[in-house]
A = this chain, B = another copy of it.
Amino acid sequence: MATNRQWLLSSRPTGEPTVDDFESIEADVPTPGPREVLVETEYLSVDPYMRGRMRDAESYAEPWDVGDPMRAAVVGSVVESNHPSFEAGDSVVGDLLWAEYAVADGADLRRVDPDRGPVSTAVGVLGMPGVTAYFGMTDVVEPTAGDTVVVSGAAGAVGSVAGQIAALSGCRVVGIAGTDEKTAWLESIGFDAAVNYETEDVPSALGDHCPDGVDAYFDNVGGPITDAVWSLLNVRATVAVCGQISTYNATETPTGPRKLMRLIQSRARVEGFLVRDYEGRWDEALDRLSAWVDRGDVAYRETVVEGFERAPEAFLGLFEGANVGKQLVRVGGS
């Protein structure tokens, strides 16, 4: 029987995780039970939220125990199916494992149509990150045409889609990202301007690019970048708090200026959200996103690390901003 490599959480990282926090084991390829499906991983998605699950602390996601297999959104192909909805060879996506093979109840898998484009998009622009961007922008931020919208983490899988949705709504969109490659890409896909936070002074660059202030902010990063955006919030501005990646590896709660007075001055609304609260509306988002992607209205990029063994490295790269667009690990498949 073929072996099945998988990654476990071997220790809880303190601060920045390292490859030593992951352990690779070999196990047997599992056998699907009744109504279960055996899936061979083709693309494994690494996402910033996973950092929270490595922590033994209150979070919106259940913490993983040390020794547990790492979980991930996976696109793969069906090897064996005991579920009537799937047969061998089907492309599927689901919440599976950092593993070469995994079984899942067929009810927890979603079919991916390979004719619609690269199957990898099922964990990117047409998956959780895209759906997050869609609801965050259309349901939480709700900008209107003419608004100035700022997106932090703008070149990531979520931010890049969020900004393009705002641009499609007729907004002026300013992205914040960490390399010139990223800002150039953003400006090529509909962002009106992009700030490189590594080389520019964010408060002054934002001031230049947002001469009429900021009407809406899609926040993926938190920290000083968010401080700078809050300082520009207009009256009745809206802020969607999607992520705070700048704080995920902190060993103690980072401190920063107390900015709530800004919310009184601006009568702004700040709202946190989780895409899982929109589970019942997932298809609505996918329909819209697919149509935009098909028409070329929403562009996407993927950063692909080749090889199952490099999954931890790909994950750690997220905190270095190594990815442009969606970070994937290509594991196998055809």
Interface residues of A (CB under 8 A from B): 58-60, 219, 222-223, 226, 241-244, 247, 253-274, 277
B255 with A258: CB separation less than 8 A: yes
B261 with A268: CB separation less than 8 A: no
29 A-B pairs (CB sep. < 8 Å): A60-B264, A60-B265, A219-B260, A222-B260, A223-B258, A226-B260, A241-B264, A244-B258, A244-B260, A244-B261, A247-B258, A253-B257, A254-B258, A255-B258, A260-B270, A260-B272, A263-B270, A263-B271, A264-B272, A264-B273, A264-B274, A265-B272, A267-B271, A267-B272, A267-B274, A267-B277, A268-B272, A269-B269, A270-B271
When distances are taken between beta carbons in the complex, the residues of chain B under 8 Å from A277 are: 267
When distances are taken between beta carbons in the complex, the residues of chain B under 8 Å from A264 are: 60, 241-244, 272-274
- Look across to chain B and name the residue whose beta carbon is closest to the beta carbon of A226: B260
When distances are taken between beta carbons in the complex, the residues of chain B under 8 Å from A266 are: 272
Most buried by B among A226, A255, A270: A270
A257 to B269, CA, bound (A): 20
Given A247-B261, A261-B247; A269-B267 close (CB under 8 Å): no
A257 with B260: CB separation less than 8 A: no
Given A222-B261, A256-B258, A258-B255; A270-B267 close (CB under 8 Å): no
A207 → B minimal CB distance (Å)? 13
Most buried by B among A253, A255, A267: A267
When distances are taken between beta carbons in the complex, the residues of chain B under 8 Å from A59 are: 265
When distances are taken between beta carbons in the complex, the residues of chain B under 8 Å from A243 are: 264
A186 → B minimal CB distance (Å)? 23
Given A241-B260, A253-B257, A260-B272, 20 more pairs with CB closer than 8 A:
A60-B265, A219-B260, A222-B260, A222-B261, A223-B258, A226-B260, A243-B264, A244-B260, A244-B261, A247-B258, A247-B261, A253-B258, A255-B255, A256-B258, A262-B272, A263-B270, A263-B271, A264-B272, A266-B272, A268-B272
When distances are taken between beta carbons in the complex, the residues of chain B under 8 Å from A273 are: 264, 267
When distances are taken between beta carbons in the complex, the residues of chain B under 8 Å from A271 are: 263, 267-270
A320 → B minimal CB distance (Å)? 20
A256 → B minimal CB distance (Å)? 5
A131 to B60, CA, bound (A): 37
When distances are taken between beta carbons in the complex, the residues of chain B under 8 Å from A253 are: 257-259
When distances are taken between beta carbons in the complex, the residues of chain B under 8 Å from A269 are: 269-271
A247 to B264, CA, bound (A): 13
When distances are taken between beta carbons in the complex, the residues of chain B under 8 Å from A255 are: 255-258
When distances are taken between beta carbons in the complex, the residues of chain B under 8 Å from A247 are: 258, 261
A116 to B242, CA, bound (A): 50
